[in-house]
Structure 1
Amino acid sequence: MGDRDQAIKNQLNGENMEERKQNFSMRMEGLDSLFNEVKQLLNLEELAELASKIEEKAESGDLKTEVHFSARSNIPRQGNIPRSDRFSRSTRVSTTNDGDEVETSYTTNFSHSPQTGSSRDHSSRNTVRNSVRTTSTAHSAHSSASSSAHASTNQEQSKTSANHANDSKQTNQSQPPLDRTVGGLGKVLAQLRDLVEVPLKRPDILEKLGLEPPKGVLMVGPPGTGKTLTARSLADHLGVNYIAIVAPEIVGKYYGEAEKKLRQVFEKATKAAPCLIFIDEIDALVPNRTQVEGEVEKRIVAQMLGLMDGFASRSGVIVLAATNRPDAIDPALRRPGRFDREIHFPVPDRNDRREILAIHTANMPLAADVNLELLADQCLGFVGADIKGLCQTAAYGALQRQVVNLAQIPDRLVVNNQDFTDALKQIQPAVLRSLTVQAPQVQWSEIGGLETIKNTLQEAVAGALNDRELYDHAKAQAPRGILLSGPPGTGKTLLAKAIATAAQANFIAINGPELLTKWVGASEQALRQIFAQARQVAPCVIFIDEIDTLAPARGNYQGDSGVSDRMIGQLLTELDGLQSSDGILLIAATNRKSSLDPALLRSGRIELHLTVDLPAESDRLAILAVHNRDRPLAEDVNLDQWAGRTDGYNGADLAFLSNRAAIFAIRRHQQTRASDRQIALSDLKITSSDFEQALAELDQQRH
C-alpha cells in the first residue's frame, strides 16, 4: 500500500512540474509581448536618436543656446536668441559650475513657413545623459531635418552686411532702450557698447579696419553699482548668448576640477558665439599669485591666462569680469590682450540718482507730495541697489499704513513723501557703511563768527565741487587742498563739516595717528585706500585732523623706521594725482603748522592756508548767540557782557560755557520742584547766576 501511494505521489509531482514549466513559459512570452508593445508605443530608440542629434547640433554650434549658470545673484542668468520669421529656436542650457556633471536641457521649437506645407510643431521628449528634453510626435525626424536646413540657410544669410543690419535693427526693436533698464550709467553704457557691440554684431567692420577687438573688459566699482545688471542687460539688448558664472563656485575640492570647469565654459561660449562670458567676483578666482600660498589658486590663474590667450580675438566671445578689488587681481591678467580695458562704475551723482529713482518708481502710485528731485538730494552716497531697497521699503511702509487687514483693502494705494522719509531712516548705503563715510548736516549759520574764513571757504567749495564749469570756462584752478591752522577748539573740524554740507558731498574724517601702524607698508596702503574710496563716493571732502602727526618735516624722526617719510611721499603722490574733475577736496587741520613738511604746502597741493585764530569779541558774541539761540534765557542774561568777559576763550570754551549754564539751571529747577510741585516747565530759565557758575568752573579747568 505504501509503495503504491508513493508511486502516485511521484506521478503527481512530475505532472505538476511540467505544468509549472508550461505556465512559466507562457508568462515569459506574455511579458515579452507586453514589453514589445510598450517599446513600440514609446518608440524609445527613435527618441534617443533624435535626442542625440539635437545634442550634436548644440555641441557643434548649429543650434544656438541660452546658457544659464547657477549663481547667488537673484538676477536671471540668461541671454536672448534673435528670432526670424521662418525659423525660431529657443534652447536653454541650465548648467552649474560642475565640470562633467553639467546638466543641459534643450527645448526646440520649429516653426515652418507656409511654403513647407506644414503648420504643426513637431517635437520629441526624452531624457539622456545630458538631460536633453523635447516633446514627441511621429514626425520628429522630419522636423529635425527641416529645421536643420532652415538653420543652415540662416547662417549663410547672416554673413552679409545687410542681414547684420536687419538683425541689429530687429533686436533693438524687441528690446527696451538700454538706459531705461540700467539707470544712472549713461557714460558707462556708452563705453561698453563701443567695446562690445561692434565686435559681436559686426566683426566685419573691424576686419576691414584691421582692428583687434578686445578679449576682456574689467568692470570695477563698489558693490551695488550695477555691474552684474549691466552685463546681463547688455547681452539682452544685443541679442547675444550670455554665460554668467560666480567665481567662488568654480573652485572645487578635487585636483584639476576648477581648471576643467573653466575650459568647459570657454568651449561652450566659443560654440555659442556670439557670446558674452560674465565672471562675477573675479578677484576670488584669479588672486595675485604673490599674495597666495595655495597651489590651487596659482593653477587657476595659469589656466585663466592660457584661456584668455588661447581663443581667437575674432571668435565672437568677449569676457566681462566684475570686481570691487582690482588690486587683488593678478597683474598678468590686466595687461593688453587679456583684460586690457577697465571701466569704472562710480557711485551715482545727483542726476544719476534721480534717473534711478524714476526707473524704480515708474510703476508706483506716487502721491503729489513726492519730489524725486528732493529725494535724490537726500540719497547722498546711495548706489543703485540702495535706491531700489529704498523704494521697496517705502512701498512696504505704504502698504502697512493703508492696509490694516486683508478684508478691507482701499481701492487706491499711494506712496507718499512720509513713506520715503521713514524709509531713509532705515536704509544705510552699503558703500558708506563699508567706507565709514559721513554725510554731515552742519550749516554755515551754525558757526558763529569767522565770516572772512567762511566766505573764502565757500568760494573754494564752489570751485572744487559745485561750480566747476565756471572755473573751467575761465581757465581757473580751484584749490585741491586747504590747510586750517590755529589753536585747538577754534572750529576747524566744524568748518570742514560745513564745507561738506554746502557742497552736498560725502565726508571722510581721518585722525592722523590712526593711520600709523607698526607694519611696513600698511600705513601707506591705508592712505591709498582712503583716496580710492573718496573717488568712489565723489563728490567727497577728506578731512585729516592733526596732519602734523601724519606728515611732519622729513628727517626730523629717526626712530620710526622711515614710516613718516614714506607716508609723506604717499600723501604727496595722492595729492599730485588729484584732478579738478575728480570732485575731491582735501582739508587738513593742525595747530603746529611749522612742523609740517614744506613740500606739502606748496602750490598745487595744499595751497590755500587759512589761520583760524581765537575769536574776537564780535565773533565771541556771534558764537554765544548760536549756542543760546533756542535756550530759555532769563532777562538778566546779557550776551554782550559775556562776550566781553571771555577774552582769550575759543569756540569750544564758549560752547562749554553755554551748555554748563543750562545744566546749572536744570539742577536749580529740580531742587525748586522738589519743594514746590506747582512749578511748571515753562518756569525753567537760564539766569546770569548760572553763567557765573559755569564761567567759574571753566576757569578752573583752564588753569
Structure 2
Amino acid sequence: MVSDLTLTLYEIPETQDGVVHLDMADMHVLGVSAGDLVCVEGARRVHLLVMPAFMGDRNQRLARVSPLTVSNLGSYSGQKARLLPERVKLPLAERVTVQAVDDLDQSHLIARHSQLAGYCLKRAVAVDDEIRVPTLGAYPLKVKVIGVTPAGGAQIGHATEFSVVGSPDERTGEKGLPAIGGVREAYLTCQKLVKARFSKSFSYAARSALLTGPEGCGKATMVARLAKECGATLHVIDGYRLLNVWMAQGISGLETELSDLDRRGSGILLLDHLEALVQVGNSEALAASTHALIEQLCAVLDELPTRPNVFVFGVIAGEGAALGRLAARFDFRLCVDAPNRWGRSELLHIATNGLTLDTDVDLGELAAITSGMTARDLFALTSAASYFAASPKVRAQDFMMAFRNQTPSAHSEILCDIPLTYWDEVAGLDDIKQVLLETLTWSLFDRDKFLTAGVKPPRSILLSGGQGTGKTSVVRALTTNIPMNYIEIACPAMMAKYQNDKASFLTETFALARRKAPCLVFFDDIDALFETLSTDSDTAPHQHPLVAQLVAELDALPLMAGVVVVAATNRPDRLTQDILRPGRFDFAMTLPMPDNAARKKVLQIHARKLPLSSDIDFDRLAGNTQGMSSAELANLCNRV
C-alpha cells in the first residue's frame, strides 16, 4: 500500500536541479523507482525526478535537492516537505517560454535558446519555476519560466522548443543603458568591484582595475554602461589626448579631475588607450617625457585611498605588462578576450536588431565562422552586409560578401572558442566517446570527490590512431557536448609559425586556459613537435626548451582546476619517454578504423543532405568500403 511521506529537505550544490535523492525504503512507500517523477509539496508544488540516496543518507528520512530546487519549492534547507504517492506522468512540453533577469542575461539566452532543451532534458517544469543555464563562468544564469505548452506541468524532451520573451534592446531602452554582448563575465566582475568600492560595508575593496585584451572587444563601452547603471559620474581621459594636453598641465590637472569626481559622490575615471604611452615611449625623443607622465599617473593611483568615492579603470589594447610600473599600480587586472561563439552570437543579435533579415540568415552559423572577430569587427560586418543588400532584406549571401572583406582583429591571437560539432556527427567510437565523456566530466565537475578519496583526477588523455579515424572530431564533439571552452593547437602550424618563441607560446596558451576554465587544450598531431626537434636541432628532443615547457605544463595540470589536455597523434612511436611516462598522460586510447556498422553510419551522416536515389543501399556501400577511414568516407560522399 503506497502512501505519502513527510521528509526533511536538505540542499547540497552537487545535486542536479530538478532531482530529488530518496532512500530505497522511501521510494517503496511512495511506489516510485529511480527515474520516475514524484510530486513534492513545499510552499509550491514541484515535480522532481527520483534518484537513489547518497550512501550517507540511507535510513535518514532525508530528501536531498539542489539549492535552486529548494527555491522553486518556496522552502529552505531543514524544512519538512510532503511527497505525494505514486509516480506522475506528465506530457512532453511542446514549448517553454522563459525570461531573463536583465538584458545581459537576455542576450546570452537568445544566443543559446536552441540548446536549452539539451541542458534540461527530462526535467519537469511549470510556470514560475527557475532554470539554471550553464555559462562556463563564475556567474550563474537563472531564467524564469513564464509559459508552458501544454498548460500546467510538462516534461522537457528533445523536441521541446524554448522561446525567449522580449529583446535585449527593449530591456536596455527602459534604463537607457548601452547594449553590450560577449563580455558578460567581465562586466559582472567589474560590477562587483565597483559596488564593493562604493559600499560602506567593505573595509577593503579594489580601487582600480586594468582592462587588457584585443582592441575592439568593448572594454570602454562596458565601463560607460557600468557607470550609468551605478549612477556614477564618468570622466574619460584618452591616452592620446593625455599626451598632448595633460603633460602640459602636469599632475595638478589630474588631481583637479579626481577632486571634482570625489566631491560629486560616486565617480569613475576611465584612462582609455593607455597603449599610446607604450607606443610613444618607444621613441627616444619622447621617452623621458612619457616616463615622467607615467610617474604622475602612478602617483595619482597611489592617492586613491584618500578618495573613497572614486574608482579608476585603465584600458589598454594588448598586454598590460607593456605598461611596466603603471600596470603594477592597479589593484586588479582583468583580461577581456575576444568573444567565443556564444558571445559572437550575442553581438550579432544586437547588431542586426534594426535590420530585416531574410529567412536564410542563421546568426548561429554566422557566429561559428567568425572566429577571432571582436565586437567592432562584427558590427562592421553587419554594416557592410546591409550595404551589399540589394533589397530591404539582408540575405545570407550579403553577409558572405561582407565576410570576405573582413579581417578578424584577434586572428593572430591564441583563440579560445566553443566548437560546433555534435555527437551524432561522429559515427562509431561509442566506447571511446563514453570514456572521454565520463572521464572529463568527472574530472572537471567532481574534482572534490576525487580529492576526498585520495585519488588524482584525470587531467590528460593521449589519442592515437590512423589518419582520418576521427580523433579531432571526437574531441570537438566532446567539448560541444559538455560544454566547455576549447583551445586547439595544430602542432605542425605552431612549429612553422613560432620559430623562436614556441615555449612562450605554450606558456600563453596555458595561461589563457586557466583564465577560461573549464577549458580543454587540444594538441593535434603532437608528434610534429618531436619530429621537427629531432631533425632540426642539435639538442636532444627531451632537453629542448619547448619539450621542457610542455612537460612542465603537464606536470602542473593537477594544480590547474578546470583545465584538461588531450593530444592526438598518428605516430606515437615518435614521442619521447618524457611525454609517455606514467603521470604525464593519465589515459592513452587508440581509435580503430571504422567497422561495417560505423562505415554505414558515417555514409548516412555525410549523405543526409544529398538528393539520393531510392536504390541507394548503404549496407552494400559499407561492405564495399572496407579499410576506408571516416575522413575517406566523407570525401567519397563529397565527390558523388
TM-score, reference length from structure 1: 0.50
Residue 608, structure 1, aligned to residue 606, structure 2: no
Residue 524 (str. 1) matches residue 503 (str. 2): yes
CA drift at 1:278: 1.9
1:243 is displaced (CA, Å) by 3.5
Which residue number corresponds to residue 565 of structure 1? 544
Distance 1:288 1:463, change over 3 A: farther
| 1:229 and 2:221 matched | yes
Instruction: Choose which of 248, 268, 281 in structure 1 pairs with 2:256.
Output: 268
- The 10-residue stretch of structure 1 (356-365 or 442-451) with the greater mean CA deviation from structure 2: 356-365
1:322 corresponds to which residue? Answer: 315
Give the 3-state SS of the residue equivalent to 1:272 in structure 2: helix
Shift of 1:547: 0.7
1:333 aligns with: 326
Distance (whole Å) between structure 1 residues aligned to residue 359 and residue 464 of structure 2? 49
Change (3 A) 1:570 1:373: same
Q: Deviation digits for residues 655-678 of structure 1, max 9, x if unmatched?
A: 566667x4xxxxxxxxxxxxxxxx
Matches within 5 A, 1:496-511: 496-502=475-481, 508-511=487-490
How many angstroms does 1:285 deviate by?
A: 1.1
Distance 1:220 1:431 in 2: 15
Q: What amino acid is aligned across from residue 296 of structure 1 in structure 2?
A: L
Alpha-carbon spacing, 1:375–1:487, altered in 2? closer, same or farther (3 Å): closer
Deviation string, structure 1 residues 459-509 (Cα, Å, up to 9, x no partner): 456557xxx657778979875433221223333233334445545667654
- Whole-Å separation in 2 of the counterparts to 1:393 and 1:472: 50
In structure 2, the partner of 1:137 is: none
1:481 aligns with 2:460: yes
Summarize deviations over 1:171-193 as a string: whole Å, max 9, x none: xxxx9869875566555445435
- Provide closer, same or farther for how the CA distance between residues 185 and 445 of structure 1 changes in structure 2, counting only shifts above 3 A: closer
In 2, distance between residues paired with 1:575 and 1:394?
45
Aligned equivalents of 1:359, 1:581: Cα separation in 2: 35
Paired residues of 2:414 and 2:509 also in contact (CA < 8 A): no
Q: How does 1:171-190 map to 2 (within 5 A)?
A: 182=180, 185=183, 188-190=186-188
Change (3 A) 1:523 1:371: closer
Deviations, residues 524-562 of structure 1 (Å, cap 9, x unaligned): 123334445567777765432221232579999960487
Match of 1:297 in 2: 287
What does 1:458-607 align with in structure 2 at a 5 Å threshold? 458-459=437-438, 479-502=458-481, 508-516=487-495, 522-532=501-511, 542-550=521-529, 559-560=538-539, 565-575=544-554, 586-601=565-580, 606-607=585-586
Hey, what's the Cα distance between the residues in 1 that align with 2:385 and 2:514?
29
| Equivalent residue, structure 1, for 2:275 | 283
User: How far is 1:329 from its partner?
Assistant: 1.8
Q: Map 1:423-442; keep pairs closer than 5 Å.
A: 423=399, 426=402, 430=408, 433-435=411-413, 441-442=420-421
More displaced, 633-642 or 242-251?
633-642
Aligned-partner SS, 1:329: helix
Kept in 1: contact 2:388–2:402 (CA 8 A): no
Using the alignment, how far apart are the partners of 1:232 and 1:309 within structure 2?
24
> Using the alignment, how far apart are the partners of 1:503 and 1:585 within structure 2?
13
Go from structure 1 to structure 2 and tell me whether the alpha carbon gap of 1:312 and 1:501 turns closer, same or farther (over 3 Å shift).
closer
Change (3 A) 1:521 1:331: farther
Describe the superposition over 1:589-637 as per-residue Cα deviations: whole angstroms up to 9, x where unpaired.
Answer: 1123244244545677543322013334444454455556666788998
Q: Which has the higher helix share?
A: 1
Matched, 1:217 2:205: no
What is the one-letter code of the residue matched to 1:591? N
CA distance in 1, matches of 2:219, 2:478: 32
Q: Tell me if the contact between 1:180 and 1:359 (Cα under 8 Å) persists in the aligned partners.
A: no
Gaps of 5+ in 2: 1-172
Relative to structure 1, the CA distance from residue 367 to residue 191 in structure 2 (aligned partners, 3 Å threshold; closer, same or farther) is: same
The 3 A distance-change label for structure 1 pair 473 and 430 is farther
Q: Cα–Cα, structure 1 residues 615 and 368, in superposed 2: closer, same or farther, change >3 Å?
A: closer
- In structure 2, the partner of 1:455 is 434
User: How many residue pairs align between the two structures?
Assistant: 455
1:559 aligns to what SS in structure 2? Answer: coil
Q: How far apart in 2 are the matches of 1:373 and 1:478?
A: 34
3-state SS in 2 of match to 1:489: coil
Tell me which moved more, 608-617 or 582-591.
582-591
Q: Structure 1, residues 188-232: CA drift from partner, whole Å, max 9, x if none?
A: 445435544565x57x877xx5x5x65532112333333101222
Counterpart amino acid of residue 344 in structure 1: C
In structure 2, distance between residues paired with 1:480 and 1:298 = 49
Answer yes or no: is 1:343 the counterpart of 2:334: yes
Say if 1:643 and 1:188 are closer, same or farther in 2 by CA, change over 3 A: closer
Letter in 2 for 1:550: L
Compared with structure 1, are the counterparts of its residues 364 and 613 closer, same or farther at alpha carbon in structure 2 (3 Å cutoff)? closer
Aligned twin of 2:299: 309
What CA deviation, in whole Å up to 9, does each residue of 1:313-337 have, x standing for no partner? 31465432112422542432333xx
Structure with bigger gyration radius: 1
Show the counterpart of 2:50.
Answer: none
| Separation in structure 1 between the aligned mates of residue 356 and residue 626 of structure 2, nearest angstrom | 60
TM-score by length of 2: 0.54
Distance in 2, Cα, partners of 1:514 & 1:564: 22
Aligned to 2:145: none
**Structure 1 residues 449 and 564 mapped into 2: Cα distance closer, same or farther (>3 Å)?**
farther
State the alpha-carbon separation in 2 of the partners of residues 650 and 369 from structure 1: 33
Once residues 373 and 499 of structure 2 are traced to their aligned partners in structure 1, the CA distance between those partners, rounded to angstroms, is 35
Name the residue aligned to 1:247: 239
CA shift, 1:445, in A, is 3.8
Q: Which runs of 5+ in 1 are unaligned?
A: 1-174, 403-414, 663-703
Partner of 2:190: 192
Quote the offset at 1:304 in angstroms.
1.2
Matched residues in 2 for 1:632 and 1:505: separation? 35
Instruction: Give the AA of the match of 2:215.
Output: P
Aligned to 1:669: none
Cα distance, 1:453 vs structure 2: 2.1
Q: Distance in 2 between matches of 1:562 and 1:372?
A: 46
Paired letter, 2:223: A
Aligned residue number for residue 130 of structure 1: none
SS of 2:315 mapped into structure 1: strand
CA distance 1:546–1:328, shift in 2 (3 Å) = same
* Kept in 2: contact 1:288–1:328 (CA 8 A): no
